[in-house]
Amino acid sequence: MNTSPFHEELLRMKRRRQLYSMAVVAIVAAVIVAGYGQANSMNSGGFLSGLQQFFDYPGEIVVEAWQAGPAFFGLLIRFLPALIETLNIAAVATILGGLAAVIFAFLGASNLNVWPPAVPVARRLMDLLRAFPELIVALFLIFVLGTSPVPAMIAVALHTTGALGKQFSEVNENIDRKAIEGLEAVGASWFQRMKFGVLPQVLPNYLSYFMMRFEINVRASAILGFVGAGGIGSELRRTIGWGQGSGDETAALFLLLIMAIFAIDQASSWMRHRVSGGGLPA
Amino acid sequence: MSAPAMSMDTGEAVPTRGRIARAVRMQSRIGFAMLAGVLVYLAYAWFAFDVSGLIASARPERAALLATDAVAHKVHVEKSLRFGDVVIAVEGERTATYKTPPEWVDIDGERVRVDMGDGYTALIEGRTVVLDAPDYGRIRVTATKDGVETELPSGEQPDWLRATDAKFDARPSLAQRVQVSRAKIEVHRYFLGWENFFFPFDSPLAALSFGEVTDLVFDDRRLNPEISNATLVFRSFWENPDWQHGNVFVALLETLLMAVLGTFTAAFVGLPLAFLAARNFTPSGALRFFVRRVFDFLRGIDMLIWSLIFIRAFGLGPLTGALAIAFTDTGSLGKLFSEALENIDRKQVEGVNATGASKLQTYRFGVIPQILPIFVSQGLYYLESNTRSATVIGALGAGGIGLMLVETMRTSRDWENTLYIIILTILLVIAMDNLSGLLRRRLIQGKPD
């Protein structure tokens, strides 16, 4: 057999691929360079002048916190309720959104035969819930319901339903059919098949995604507080907006938020490792 | 992500029926306990959030108002009692005043007859307005020197009507409204649709149909001798003062720019750092520890806080947003990449090494091909989610469409503008979502191997 045309074909393909890679790298580099130039010109302050004062604000905060001395710990305790409120918003939203996501995920998984006509409907609904930025829903609900943590909670829950629903339904679709077939063979009902064949397979992954989502939602809740939903975000807006003299309070709030995020991060990665037995990439 | 395969413990003794039943009972007990715990927590949250108080103070009529305002526009017929003139204007704006009254307003000297639709009419005569409501009767309101006098027909007073000595306000349905104070008489009629969406009210193009505008573009006779008709049409649209299409477009681009720059920077800074944090590439434990703590630090200080710090240093704008995204995601992507590097298959590296390849060639052919799919797919995932984040940190003050959205919502006057921005934001997010999905499929699954 003559292999030389085959070999040439291979070389040609290789050259073409190299050309493509070079082109992609060149485009990306051009986008980054041009983009930073453009962004710099659109910004109200310049990059170079900003670089000099980059540490001014963090420095100011740290100095004021230092000057506050032992009273700083008092501030930490004073802002604890605000942190708890933010955590509550995130937790309730993750629980409610997560429960809704389980239902959507079962309806939207094509291999579980819950109710075939509902599969595309559930999927589109999840897409829509995901695409809607939480911020918009929260601002709208604040307008109707008034300033309270509940609008933020609802907004985050709706987004969670879309985001977790998609991940859950992917988990559902990747299950091993053998367990279901085995249960079917012994005459198990649909409910029994789900309970003994599907849930044990999907629950560890569900829990792992659920914890990750809780982490994300803590951040989202803190940000929504900034636009008027209460919690640590609204305290931050107050102290930062106040301008001079509240740097110690800002520092206390930053510290609380960072510690909370760090603690949740550690706890959830520990839990994920335990549940998945280290088999899943975290 | 794939589900973990169920492990088969073939080496163990076959469990008895009783043991299985006990295990199942135990599991369902744990399940019930968790469920009860969740319910208790939700009950606590109900009180912590004061949900009952919230329901009591909610203002659902605001939602209806907002929904109406978002899809409809109102035209004011306003009679100033001080000067006696009648002005008919879209949303009461001076730039959108009718020069000749529309056909539903009939001006005959001192008498102004307004057909408000659905059988409602208002007749303004001097300082008096007579409102005919088909389901109630004839209401007569007169503005006096120090207030208003209202004569209502007999029968129960409907709840859409509020009359005090100082002000009369009637809104029989969402589409009609009459307000009288001692200074002015105002009649509003609502029409479905966004007014002046394409061209400003006072532009010569405003009254034209789509076909007429198209004809005009290809017509040689210029409406404005200075510029071509196509330029005129584009400028009238782009610089429309009510809708600000040009500004909205620039803001959308700013948001996109933040997301793209932030993600690209994070990916390209995160990758080399990831090698320093991976156990199989960096033997020095101290260096690994240091780089990982840098990743934790960048991730742990939230995007929210980074953007607040950057706003102080660099001012408002897309640069601030891009840097906030880049800092946070260098931490996230760096961690992900370093984990991917630790999980690579050694065999491929050893194989390349065995052919006598140099260190660089080993990386190029042994390592990069293995992590490239993860690099590309995670980068695209982050690009997609950063488009959403960019709108949010924009709202905090970094600029772009997020800031514009919050500003139109804060003024809460023209909800149709807000709705327009919301629709565009969602379209942008969906477009990025689809684009990144498409690229992911093409680059990762579509590879012919």
pLDDT tens-digit readout, B265-275:
999 999 999 99
Over the Cα atoms of chain B, what is R_g?
A: 33
Helix (H) or strand (E) holding B76: strand B72-80
Please state, in angstroms and rounded to a whole number, the distance separating the CA atoms of residues B102 and A103.
53
- The answer on pLDDT for B8 being more than 70 is no
What pLDDT score was predicted for residue A281?
42
Q: Cβ of A227 and B388 within 8 Å?
A: no
pLDDT in tens, B78-92: 888 888 788 888 877
Q: Cβ of A135 and B343 within 8 Å?
A: no
Please tell me the distance in Å from B174's CA to the nearest CA on chain A: 17
Q: Cβ of A136 and B425 within 8 Å?
A: yes
What pLDDT score was predicted for residue A35?
86
Q: Cβ of A205 and B4 within 8 Å?
A: yes
Q: Cβ of A39 and B317 within 8 Å?
A: yes
Chain mean pLDDT for chain A: 84
Q: B78, exposed or middle or buried, with CB in 10 Å at 0-12, 13-18, 19+?
A: middle
* Nearest CA among A138, A137, A100 for reference residue A122: A100
Per CB-CB distance under 8 Å, the chain B contacts of A96 are 42
Q: Cβ of A204 and B4 within 8 Å?
A: yes
> pTM for this one?
0.78
What pLDDT score was predicted for residue B221?
75
What pLDDT score was predicted for residue B10?
53
Instruction: Select from A57, A139, A261 the Cβ nearest to the Cβ of B312.
Output: A57
What pLDDT score was predicted for residue B2?
43
Nearest CA in chain B to A280: B4
Per CB-CB distance under 8 Å, the chain A contacts of B400 are none
pLDDT in tens, A189-246: 888 888 888 888 888 888 888 888 998 898 889 888 887 788 888 888 888 766 566 7
What pLDDT score was predicted for residue B1?
41
Q: How confident is the model at residue B448 (pLDDT cuts 50, 70, 90)?
A: very low
- The answer on pLDDT for B445 being more than 80 is no
- The answer on pLDDT for A133 being more than 70 is yes
Please tell me the distance in Å from A144's CA to the nearest CA on chain B: 5
**Which of A77-81, B12-16, B152-156 is predicted least confidently?**
B12-16
Nearest CA in chain B to A136: B422
**What amino acid is encoded at A164 in this protein?**
L
* Nearest CA among A81, A58, A76, A90 for reference residue A224: A90
Please state, in angstroms and rounded to a whole number, the distance separating the CA atoms of residues B206 and B240.
11
Q: Cβ of B54 and A146 within 8 Å?
A: yes
What pLDDT score was predicted for residue A245?
63
Q: How confident is the model at residue B4 (pLDDT cuts 50, 70, 90)?
A: very low
Instruction: Select from A44, A47, A136 the Cβ nearest to the Cβ of B316.
Output: A44
**Which of B10-24, B252-266, B283-297 is predicted least confidently?**
B10-24
- The answer on pLDDT for B104 being more than 80 is yes
Q: A252, exposed or middle or buried, with CB in 10 Å at 0-12, 13-18, 19+?
A: buried
Q: What is the DSSP string of A9-66?
A: HHHHHHHHHHHHHHHHHHHHHHHHHHHHHHHHHHSSS-HHHHHHTTTHHHHHHHHHHH
Per CB-CB distance under 8 Å, the chain B contacts of A51 are 313
What pLDDT score was predicted for residue B7?
47
Per CB-CB distance under 8 Å, the chain B contacts of A171 are 1, 3
Instruction: Select from A44, A144, A279 the Cβ nearest to the Cβ of B58.
Output: A144
What pLDDT score was predicted for residue B11?
55
- The answer on pLDDT for A6 being more than 80 is yes
What pLDDT score was predicted for residue B235?
81
Per CB-CB distance under 8 Å, the chain B contacts of A277 are 4
- The answer on pLDDT for B327 being more than 90 is yes
Beta carbons within 10 angstroms of residue B39's beta carbon? 11
Nearest CA in chain B to A243: B312
Nearest CA in chain B to A141: B63
Q: Cβ of A46 and B63 within 8 Å?
A: no
What pLDDT score was predicted for residue A280?
43
More confident residue, B186 or A46: B186
Please tell me the distance in Å from A14's CA to the nearest CA on chain B: 12
Chain mean pLDDT for chain B: 83
Please tell me the distance in Å from B251's CA to the nearest CA on chain A: 10
Please tell me the distance in Å from A47's CA to the nearest CA on chain B: 6
What pLDDT score was predicted for residue B347?
85
pLDDT in tens, A87-106: 999 999 999 999 999 999 99
Instruction: Select from A43, A174, A279 the Cβ nearest to the Cβ of B316.
Output: A43
Q: Cβ of A42 and B399 within 8 Å?
A: yes
- The answer on pLDDT for B447 being more than 70 is no
Please state, in angstroms and rounded to a whole number, the distance separating the CA atoms of residues A27 and A38.
16
Per CB-CB distance under 8 Å, the chain B contacts of A141 are none
Please state, in angstroms and rounded to a whole number, the distance separating the CA atoms of residues B170 and B160.
6
Q: Are the C-beta atoms of residues A154 and A144 closer than 8 Å to each other?
A: no
Please tell me the distance in Å from B97's CA to the nearest CA on chain A: 30
What pLDDT score was predicted for residue B308?
82
What pLDDT score was predicted for residue A87?
93
Please tell me the distance in Å from B50's CA to the nearest CA on chain A: 9
Contacts of A157 (CB under 8 A, 6+ apart): A92, A93, A94, A96, A97, A100
What pLDDT score was predicted for residue B419?
85
Interface probe for A, chosen from B47, B314, B343, B381 (most Cβ of A below 10 Å), is B314
pLDDT in tens, B212-256: 778 877 777 777 777 787 888 888 888 877 778 888 999 999 999
Instruction: Select from B1, B2, B49 the Cβ nearest to the Cβ of A153.
Output: B49
Share of chain B above pLDDT 70, in %: 95
Q: Span B3-22, mean pLDDT?
A: 65
Please state, in angstroms and rounded to a whole number, the distance separating the CA atoms of residues A269 and A266.
5
Q: Cβ of A45 and B315 within 8 Å?
A: yes
Per CB-CB distance under 8 Å, the chain B contacts of A135 are 391-392, 395, 402, 405-406
Q: Phi/psi of residue B163, each to 5°?
A: -125, 120
Please tell me the distance in Å from B395's CA to the nearest CA on chain A: 8
What pLDDT score was predicted for residue A3?
64
Q: Phi/psi of residue B125, each to 5°?
A: -140, 110
pLDDT in tens, B391-409: 888 888 788 888 888 888 7
What pLDDT score was predicted for residue B65?
78
pLDDT in tens, B364-388: 888 888 888 888 888 988 998 899 8
- The answer on pLDDT for B413 being more than 70 is no
What pLDDT score was predicted for residue A279?
43
Q: Span A37-62, mean pLDDT?
A: 78
Please tell me the distance in Å from B29's CA to the nearest CA on chain A: 14
Q: Cβ of A95 and B422 within 8 Å?
A: no
pLDDT in tens, A149-183: 899 999 999 999 999 999 898 888 888 888 888 88
Please tell me the distance in Å from A49's CA to the nearest CA on chain B: 8
Q: Cβ of B409 and A95 within 8 Å?
A: no
DSSP B104: T
**What amino acid is encoded at B129 in this protein?**
V
Instruction: Work out how many CB contacts closer than 8 A connect A with B.
Output: 194
Nearest CA in chain B to A27: B264
Q: How confident is the model at residue A131 (pLDDT cuts 50, 70, 90)?
A: confident
Nearest CA in chain B to A265: B300
